Structure 1
Amino acid sequence: MDIRNEFPALQGNTYLNTAASGILYNSLYQWRRDHDQAYYEQGSDFRMHQMQFLESVKDSVAAFFNADRNQTYLTANFSSAYGVLLDGLPANYRFLLLGHEFPAVYYQVQSRSFEYELLPLGPDLEQRIIERIVEFQPQVFAFSMVQYSNGLKLSQNFLRMLKDRFPDLILIADGTQYLGTEVINFNEAPIDALLGSCYKWMLGGYGCGVALLKESLAQQLYPDAQHRPLPTEAFLKHKTRLALRFEPGQQDTLAFGSLQHSI
């Protein structure tokens, strides 16, 4: 099969802008039409099994990234998941950030009044990251796996070396420009949190994202809430304290079903 035939945008064109927006393909287009046709015809009956369906999407995401199923969350986008994560960390944490980052990465740290330092991009970046960690002593290094401005990618080997040298340093990665570009084994990766929107290389369309956490980080989030009761309503009994924050309210089965279809 010629894969180009699946993508109408490739008929007579070469598409070089997936880093900005992935494109729709035939089988996903048909799936989305069938989804909305069923909703159109069935109304609320269509949503009767949404809980089981979304849990199946979560199964697919966790398996695809080899992540802990219990710490895999379906989110609307990177920004919403990142905000929930930041709000769960102690207010006195210091952040190391990279210069010329995507605004969603640095602004949410700034707007929450965390102490932070911006490290300019440039030559010898890896060595300078190490030096700033030693001198600034941040609790968190937050970064994009692939920089949106120039395509710079931090290697897994470098991140593993960082984790080995600074085991208590929390590594939070924006994977929006990264997810779908190579095989990812999150359980074996040195990253503590990998968050990302899935409309680019994952070809999931808009309105869907994922948040993958290591258990060690999850246990640090919202410590006060760990001792408070959870809702007891039947439709929320399957939700953990973090799921209630990362996955609040109604979730879009069209968006997350599109992600599952692309996986």
Structure 2
Amino acid sequence: MKEAKMKIWGSLRRIAALSIVALGVQATAAQAQDYKLLEPGTLKCAFTGAFAPFSMQTSDGKWYGLTNEVFREMANRTGLKLEYVITKWDSLLVGLMADQYDILCDTMDITKERQARVLFVDGWIESGGRLVVHKDSDITSFDQFKGKTMGVLVSSTWAVLAKGLEPGETKYYQAESDAMRDLADKKIDGMVTDSIAAAWAAEHTKMPLRTVDGYLSRIQKGWAAKKDRAELVKALNKALAEMVADGTYAKLTKALIGYSPAPAEPIRSQLN
């Protein structure tokens, strides 16, 4: 009799365990459906490629950098496989709206204009626009740049900021690295770019560049999804907040630039 009861209890426990697993699978499937991913379980993330120190590539093709390290950890905590899609900067938003990928994981500034079109993950990094010149340049202030030749990334906020310096000519680039090389070769007189990127370039690439004192802007950057991806953005927000709280974010970013650039007051997602 006792043995029969034990068998019954054992069967009940197995049924209960299987029920819990089934519920977990159902919950995961429902959550994946809420994310509205192009491919269930896979987060297709688009960016423009190399832009140190945000995204860099090793000799064997692996991506690393501020963006890659932080976003990869967020995807892991959300239970999603990360898949990169490389595209041109001025095609990022077009491709997003055309459902060519799920989210943009490039270093995109959070602006009111962009917030009207896309849904940003909470601001994950704070930086700003700086004027970068050749190390030998005699330019020491913004007003001295009037009439000079400027280089900027096409369709970027830097291009807008650069106009305020009244350059005589502006050259537009598809990649920041190309503008930096031209500046190092004195083919242009200066460029406007991100303060973190400028500091990294001057320190790690040994290019003869320096930043002019003062900021042209202060900005937070975020990752953008379509407006109907609210559940995905909520999940990524949760993962990011946990990383900041448990010290993972600081550990990942300090290893690359020596400090944590997390915003003290992040710009929050405009969720309905």
TM-score for both structures, normalised by structure 1:
0.30
TM-score for both structures, normalised by structure 2:
0.29
**Which structure has greater strand proportion?**
2
| Bigger Rg, structure 1 or 2 | 2
